[in-house]
Structure 1
């Protein structure tokens, strides 16, 4: 019997780690990228590039994820809510004077925009050989995280490989030809920053510069219309007069503030070759092979230190990184990179069936045809592409994924390209635990710890309350004040609760009690303390938030007011209910803070409950207001349903059905990231065909000139189009696919809860479930045929499926399912004890 158990464990392990014989997962194209939205992303968790793949002219647009404008000294902190102003706002709110409240809050309670994620520069490679290129192909192999460009020119075959190595912290590019003198290229750097200068040395090319010390995307006219000149002393004098005619300040314009950055590029010849390095660039010729090692560094030295006065020397850092990497040859660098990457990527395998003809087509052609012909394997590829982006963009020691992950070309990018934390940052990390990439959340956890430091200052100085608080946006400088004058979004002091849910979920998936006690609980406690102090009596026996928004929606009252701010929006109450419940549970586990625990229990019992509106929908606000935009992209009031676990078919069937009505009213078309959220929600409603309808909408080709419908979708490179590009849609989709295949939020593990008809046959392995279980499944004709569950913590397991099943261990049946009903449907369920590292076979 023990042999059978070992065999099952071996087979499951093989499924989770992949096999060498499998064809690699690739995105591929038969022409170079024509613009940034067609280039292919690579990254090592700190440094990244968009690879264009040109034959005559190659371009690598470079990013390093600590390179931001500004520094701590330009963070605006002068906002304070006086008791008199707070009481006035509450009185007006209770009197239904919503527009007056909005005017007061926008004028008195808001700060200014956070600072901006910056592009680093571009590396250009000019092919000096003349002649037309043919037999062209560019590929991003996401099984190995290597981008390749291949073509023929004048009878010579050329190939470029580019990868970003996490273990060696460099970007590596190799060029090969099949003739002895086939390579003749010139390389140079450019940067959008006017401070950047290129310099050649004996053995390398250097780009050195300084990021802007201050950037502002609001126009002068907007700032002056709002009367916000005093919030921008960098741009205005004490009399409110403009000091500059521009809003991006460098060097002496901003007292020398701004982050320094440097790149170093060194060519290496495995055999013979000639090389000339000058201040104009690098010229390489008379060789058939050369590779380049690129290091990048900034002077960033922490969220609370000036990068211009207290920064790390980027020159020394870049040189140190480069010298260490140069101790390895190309093959070793590549081997170290692929082994490290595969140790994460190969944990999950996902197979869906498409025709050989579909698989043989270029990726953009498959995307164009998706609406006409289902292509399940392309859907599986996009799922794994999300995991590729997670591994490439978020590693321990680096910064968390921002609105564009780490890939950005603009000095004034859309929405500052920072952290929009009323959903977008959190959505970036929805797939991390689900798809066995738990360690990729470490940068997010560090940001939460750092934001709690500035957030405690804001809670104390702005609100005079305990704990810590943050609002709608932040950046690498961990700004925690509310943003400037956008009433539907800016004033939203709820961020700390949502961020802390990621800490709790990490515990749920890993069962790491030391993490929960030492790292998560103190942050959860601080969030709960602020919420406990923020609540007020509504006059009807309930506690509510005194003023808030349902991001980023607005409502119309019966007397014709259009407003966004109200007491007790449903999302506020859902986040507070979740934060209190989980903080109480952790406090009881470790016997900590009994007085606070009792306070939270008392206030939890008095929170305003969920309400169902007259249309049968889950009510979005305290009162059944009409939405100004009924099909708004945000549906924040569903937080308690997803990503939280408060509304489930077993515990709250009426609310569960109200969620369905809400989604029906919202409609199926939306921006890219919003469709990612809708996929998750329809999957949790266990409606796989409707979830797939949203998936089909997401596979809308954007930028092709013939998009199937307006709104969001995918660019040729499969990055999500909001539009413009926002990476959260990619991660929302990947998480949504897991919710289709596996759910564990409701107190049990549900296998194939929402499988769409079009995915009738497939397999998956390596997915994670709460309780620290690892799952592998096969299905055919829409029904589960077999599953393996590996228990990594030895917890009791409750399992649910759509048909009867048995549970075996060591060849013996240890549990048989029994029928259960949930929301009018019949399922089969069994509960059984597990042993740590035990493997359990599930069969019909």
Structure 2
């Protein structure tokens, strides 16, 4: 009975504060106990995790440029040509494992450096008494975090936000009632060996330096691979360990190397006093207190050592000086205006908002499979947009595996930019959910990477153009990292450049295509055309390739992950060649010699193949999967995120794609399920997409054996597990794919609407061609759509119901009901067609509308 009364009081509190209409909140009735229960805030430069403890608040802090190591300590100076012929001979003889062993021994470097935690802010409250009416809320519609609770007759409130315009975090604490606030504010850092804390009056700072050498591998791992020569910091030339040998080296241990940083705050207050004593700001009998916090590092550029110890302090003082004359309300007003200018572009409602929306978010996640709470999916969708706005803004760094949120000295997979899916997946929602500006840090990083990539292409391969492998850090290392054969994958550039191409398609910005996309696309193509070799049938393939991160079986049960011409390699090269040739036409560029070479080589690229199980073949040869249910589905790249295979243009290959998905199964790591949500949406199967999405909405709690597998942590972070943020962005993109697709020559309205989504509306989504789209549906069918033509041009529409068209000029309309019949999809090697699965595709109504810039087209169901 007592618990029931408490829940009712909590729900009444939520209702009174937020009402029933704000569905864009994460809310909890207790503080975070572990990091994956804390709530994220960010301004693109800094990330913070807010725990919400009434007695001892912790905000764990990150800065987006804070990485271990130094750009001059890369291991990319080896030359693969020395062993090329020997290794190729092994692959030619079908000795794949032997060839892979030599690649791992001869052609790999050392691990990428690690994204580092910065510091922790602690606010200790001298409370006495029992806490009641506790609530913790993250309002993602405004990017404001709130904590409220009562002790006795006094109500305490905290409000936290991260301002992009002012480059600061702001924390406001207030007490309403007879009691005041007393306690202490302090900093700490995991980099304690280099920590220096100081302050005066109302100011507090922490200086420190991150490791100049940080190794995610154990020393035993290095020695097992005989890689000691790659680490002169900790090994002698005879491979013996130096006395200092360990995974983490600070400052004097590693020639003074390591990036510097400073965290600094100032406090304004009403009532009482604030004084600096012994590394803390102590406050006594305060009514209200505003903390303005910022941070900076000594990072200057991807190819410069971060050696300036003074630079962080110069930067933070400049940021704080910028808000010296701004009070809390002005800073908050600027923050909300900036944030909502992005967030408010898109809104999504699914079914009616029910009572369950007022429950704590972790309980909603746990109960989602009971049904009746489809707006939780809408919250997941908007949460992905919130994380992108908070974590990726112009001037900052791109989102890594953990976004900009990490509390570990040696984070999972180094918090790397992993480019065989994860970094790219982070940005799948950017264009379609109307956040093009958030793509900018990604674009900048790829341009920087291409500079290193051009050097490595020449020195390591003797090739023109530029390359990227499967991992990089802030130092933009383009060579292969260590140990895993999957590290050798010099074709990642095409996937990265595809984002530039998509940005052009969504915005129609021809200047961007000419100045930004085309040079990078041409560079990728130059490397690819030099890297290709003919196979025994005369088709061009990559001489040694990889299907991330799967292995195959061959011979008498041997396994390998490397072989010539895997489908993923070929897909990226096909796409890049095609888009390069399209760019020449669009931009009117004359490049006859290269154009002719690419056209000739394009015609000889290995076609897609259908294997013995009626699946899209993953490798040049029809090997057996080592792991049928492997998390990666890389060979489906031409279906998604690419568009070389679609139900319209390639029906037989589309069926082979479906067969792969059926064989792989639904359950996987978090990000993999995010990818599959997108895949099934492109197969027009919204129910299957939502079924997999429901596996992502599966509560996982750290260190609790009752909550196992992949899914979502209580704070809605994707549980790979451990936390990996790409699953959040993959889910957001997948939900958008259910509602709108434009990759197949049409703006396709509600292509994969799940049966459970009876009614709803979405506003502000973007389609290729720079069309902005609102859709309302009822009884599982489109009711009305509004499309704004930002650029003008022909608007091709596809819908499952007949529409009345108002606005623009209707050029042609037709009904198409034969999309999956055999069509000319280009040459491909086809085996055992009869085993292909069936795909049911509804009849479509198609409309071609001529529009002018600024036209508004209204479509109403007949």
* TM-score, normalised by the number of residues in structure 2: 0.93
Distance 1:599 1:814 in 2: 39
What's the counterpart of residue 114 of structure 1? Answer: 112
Cα-to-partner distance string for 1:292-327 (whole Å, 9 max, x where unaligned): 000100000010111015x77101111110111222
For residues 710 and 629 of structure 1, do their structure 2 counterparts lie closer, same or farther at Cα, with a shift above 3 Å needed? farther
**Partner residue of 1:536 out of 533, 544, 551:** 533
Pick which of 271-280 and 403-412 moved more: 271-280
Query: How far is 1:598 from its partner?
Result: 1.2
What's the counterpart of residue 490 of structure 1? Answer: 487
Distance 2:68 2:703 in 1: 35
What's the counterpart of residue 585 of structure 1? Answer: 582
Distance 2:287 2:816 in 1: 68
Distance 2:749 2:719 in 1: 31
Distance 1:330 1:72 in 2: 40
Listed as ranges, the matches of 1:554-633 within 5 Å are 554-590=551-587, 591-633=589-631
**Partner residue of 2:849 out of 818, 832, 835:** 832
What RMSD, in angstroms, separates the aligned Cα atoms of the two structures?
Answer: 1.6
Is the partner of 2:369 in helix, strand or coil?
coil
Q: Which residues of structure 1 form unaligned runs of 5+?
A: 1-18
Cα-to-partner distance string for 1:596-627 (whole Å, 9 max, x where unaligned): 11111111110000000111110000011111
Query: How far is 1:355 from its partner?
Result: 5.1
What's the counterpart of residue 467 of structure 1? Answer: 465
Query: How far is 1:637 from its partner?
Result: 0.3
Is the partner of 1:825 in helix, strand or coil?
coil
Is the partner of 1:841 in helix, strand or coil?
strand
Is the partner of 1:617 in helix, strand or coil?
coil
What's the counterpart of residue 710 of structure 2? Answer: 712
Matched, 1:352 2:350: yes
Is the partner of 1:476 in helix, strand or coil?
coil
What's the counterpart of residue 77 of structure 1? Answer: 76
Is the partner of 1:796 in helix, strand or coil?
strand
**Contact 1:157–1:178, Cα closer than 8 Å, also in 2:** yes
What's the counterpart of residue 772 of structure 2? Answer: 774
Distance 1:166 1:596 in 2: 44
**Partner residue of 1:679 out of 671, 677, 680:** 677
Matched, 1:28 2:45: no
Is the partner of 2:284 in helix, strand or coil?
strand
Cα-to-partner distance string for 1:42-75 (whole Å, 9 max, x where unaligned): 0000111000001111100000000000111211
What's the counterpart of residue 688 of structure 1? Answer: 686
Distance 2:611 2:79 in 1: 36
Distance 1:104 1:365 in 2: 51
What's the counterpart of residue 421 of structure 2? Answer: 423
Cα-to-partner distance string for 1:509-537 (whole Å, 9 max, x where unaligned): 00000000011100000000000000000
Distance 2:263 2:219 in 1: 34
Distance 1:134 1:592 in 2: 73
Matched, 1:510 2:527: no
Is the partner of 1:646 in helix, strand or coil?
coil
Is the partner of 2:261 in helix, strand or coil?
strand
What's the counterpart of residue 757 of structure 1? Answer: 755
Runs of 4+ in structure 1 over 4 Å off: 19-22, 704-710, 812-817
Query: How far is 1:705 from its partner?
Result: 7.5
What's the counterpart of residue 451 of structure 1? Answer: 449
Query: How far is 1:371 from its partner?
Result: 1.7
What's the counterpart of residue 826 of structure 2? Answer: none
**Contact 1:807–1:816, Cα closer than 8 Å, also in 2:** no
**Contact 2:265–2:294, Cα closer than 8 Å, also in 1:** yes
**Contact 1:669–1:711, Cα closer than 8 Å, also in 2:** no
**Partner residue of 1:371 out of 369, 372, 376:** 369
Query: How far is 1:91 from its partner?
Result: 1.9
Distance 2:422 2:72 in 1: 27
Cα-to-partner distance string for 1:696-742 (whole Å, 9 max, x where unaligned): 11111101787888531000000000000000000000000010000
Is the partner of 1:107 in helix, strand or coil?
helix
**Contact 2:263–2:295, Cα closer than 8 Å, also in 1:** yes
Pick which of 555-564 and 99-108 moved more: 555-564
Is the partner of 1:833 in helix, strand or coil?
strand
Q: Across the two proteins, how many residue pairs are aligned to each other? A: 821
Distance 2:514 2:777 in 1: 39
**Contact 1:805–1:816, Cα closer than 8 Å, also in 2:** no
Is the partner of 2:185 in helix, strand or coil?
strand
Distance 2:403 2:344 in 1: 21
* TM-score, normalised by the number of residues in structure 1: 0.95
**Contact 2:201–2:274, Cα closer than 8 Å, also in 1:** no
What's the counterpart of residue 824 of structure 2? Answer: none
What's the counterpart of residue 248 of structure 2? Answer: 248
Distance 1:711 1:79 in 2: 41
What's the counterpart of residue 15 of structure 1? Answer: none
For residues 704 and 421 of structure 1, do their structure 2 counterparts lie closer, same or farther at Cα, with a shift above 3 Å needed? closer
